[in-house]
Structure 1
Amino acid sequence: MTILTIDDEENIRNGLADNFELEGYEVKQAANGAEGLELIAQGGIDLVITDLRMDGISGSEVVQKVTTDYPGIPIIVLTGHGSIDDATAALKAGAFDFLTKPLDLDHLNKIVKNALQGKILAEQNRELKEKLLKSESPDEMIGKSDSLNRVRQMISKAAPARASVLITGESGVGKELVAKAVHEQSDRADKPFIVVHCAALSETLIESELFGYEKGAFTGAESIHKGRFELADGGTLFLDEIGEVNLATQVKLLRVLQEHKFERVGGEKSIEVDVRVVAATNRNLEDEVKAGRFREDLFYRLNVIRIEMPSLRERMDDIPLLMHAFLREFNIENKKNIKGFDKTSKSAMIKYSWPGNIRELKNAVESAVVMCTGDEIKMEDLPRALRAQGEEKVISIPIGITMDEAEKIIIQENLAANKGNKSKTADILGIGRKTLHRKLEELNIE
């Protein structure tokens, strides 16, 4: 734990530093408020002790700044006997406690201990809340279909291993959710989960993003930049759309997977990392290998454990569950209380083919929530693609009739739908206008 002391009297700063170092804390010192705020902004400060009355930025201003911009850092104020009112005002502004000079170091140590324990408890409480929210989030894997349960079984088998995982599936099926689940069920769950969207990075950027760069490696590289592999050390690196990575970068990825080390761009020192790689693609990598666009050796390194995420068309039973999960989410986000979907809109949602998969479904529900003015989503609230499907008309042809009779029904229904427009009807039926006229005469259609 690191304590920052801010006081314009050097002997007080040094005395506090000696005391806290004996107690096992790291100590940083600042001679004024401005210097103290600069150290806080650099990070790594767990508790602040500041004098109230200093030239320039006062202790009261430090309290206001810290409690506003760094609310997780407890702050203790020191004051003389004549400025108790100022200390009380600092408490109202958010200070943890105050002490009067001359200081009772034993009492100060107890206050510091209590403040730091409170900080730790607050952080643990925040982390617990985040985990609870995460477990309830509609962005988690939702569904009870057999195909999704098979994915869950694969995740539970893959998670404890150290081997690379390749997740395949169409765009929008939730491949990143699978990667997160693999990470969270592994022994790396308390370590970083770093995501790289490979398709969003140009060929010139992807190498420096993955491996970092040294100061002066290129124009604009004014300081050392850690890459995603370094940031993921000890944890999991998720490479989304791995099929978009160029061949030159594929060679370097292969080396990291084989040797667990790399060099930053512009650097010579090898950096060793312990990173589990999970990759995802909506491409057929076997075809990419055959076409020479993806290295075969890298493919085999990534494809140790393969998890195929089904499309939404393959898990239609999950659509109602996803619809209502997203409805809950967007009700909260838009401060609405929509209770559900009417029969027509629900039927349209379930029958739709969802080429964009879960991503398209989520967007459709969000749009419907925004457009809905009542307590139930109706057909008119849905996006155009779903409304158009709901408006589609079906031609019913009875069993047992002749081909000529069936053809007559098809032509009559299409003519009626097109309000007698023969050119449009011919186009829809895929025949010429002359052919349509001949059939109208042959089948005695007026």
Structure 2
Amino acid sequence: MGDGTTKRNEAFHPGRQPLKHHPDFWHAPHRIRGPISFLNPTRAHFQPQRGSARPAEPSSSSGGLEKRRSKYREADHGISYKWTSRNNRKGRHALAVNPSIPLAELPYLAPPFTASVRETFRGIQRMFTVFPVWDVSYDVATIFTVGSVIWVINACFVYLPLVQPDTEFKNEILYGGGITAFIGATIFEIGSFFLMAEAVNENRTGCFSWALEQALSHDAENGVDGIHLRPSELHCTHHHINKYNLVGKQCNKFGHVSTKPEYAASSSPSPRSGSRNWIWFPSKEEIRTHYIHDLGFLASFSQLVGATIFWVSGLSALPGIYNHMSRPVTIIFYWTPQVLGGLGFVISGALFTLETQSHWYKPAFKTLGWWIGMWNFIGGVGFTLCPAFGYDERSWAQYQASLSTFWGSWAFLMGSVIQWYESLDKYPVEVDRGDQSDEGSGDGKR
């Protein structure tokens, strides 16, 4: 993991070093970090070598963090590859561009920032025109979106009769609420299972998945050599691009980056290393050495455990079961699983939010993943408060229980829709302000 003084969140395990099979890139050691010292790093920055060997890395004993920072500031090219654990799970490849560096000094031109209004509308358009059902991250997002819609409908069946009694029809709460609760809980369980599968099939060594191409003559006047960075699925080693099946590894046999000759270590592609078939369950050794320290895995596991327990209450809500249970049985099999399951959702949302932060105490307001985790956290709070009020049979408590499900369902829907948008944004281009973007409130994105 590093020398004896290196914290776990400041260095990668040798077997999981991102881009280790890309000799054209070197990483900035001071920009490897995670929010919790005893957990794995969640972010890192990599820069391409530019005509010379990578800068020497001073030892921690001789210079410390400031010497390493000065070395890498001198070598800053303005464009870097930003690896994050969340992006790695989702098959996303983020570029970070420093806007303070003049355009003429950039080694090549990057696409427009994805935070722009134009690119945002393009992302929304993709949600209605692109349907990559072979992409597990897309499936997770859409499954949770459908499940959240079902829960919103459920909340309407249960809550509206309390607000507008004249709109209630016969057995609306029993049949409308009970059946939609079972369907919603089942969909959440399926989504949580695929979320867990996504977490244990992350790309171990990452990939660059950008290629250089010559720009048109009128574009060349605006940048150095008219060389543009373009997304390239040909160089992607994530399983997300495999269009032939949902649970197989991608079909590209090579995991190299196409670069200009002065950036390339060799002119021929190197075989993909660290590749493996899709797995459903990691080994005990992998859990012990890696996943137990991985925020994304812990969040996904909490979600799966919570959804599994919560499903019991969905089953017990069905007509023919719920209306035949005594009060003690209702408390045990209907309300209590909601409490435990809701707590699982709360923990999961909190961990997903924490994963996107540079420090545990600094929110990442400019990161999509942060808002996804936060809305899921709020939804989990709503689903936990529902049974907390539901234990009390008085009318005011039952009203608050139904209301909590109502706003909790909408919170889950907000998070799911943002996750849907994120799953289609595979090549984000972010603003990078060097150390400030790591130490500030967000990662400079959105």
| TM-score range for the pair, normalised by the shorter chain length | under 0.3
What TM-score comes out, normalization by structure 1 length? 0.21
Between structure 1 and structure 2, the one with the greater Rg is 1
By relative contact order (CA 8 Å, sep 6+), the higher-ranking structure is 2
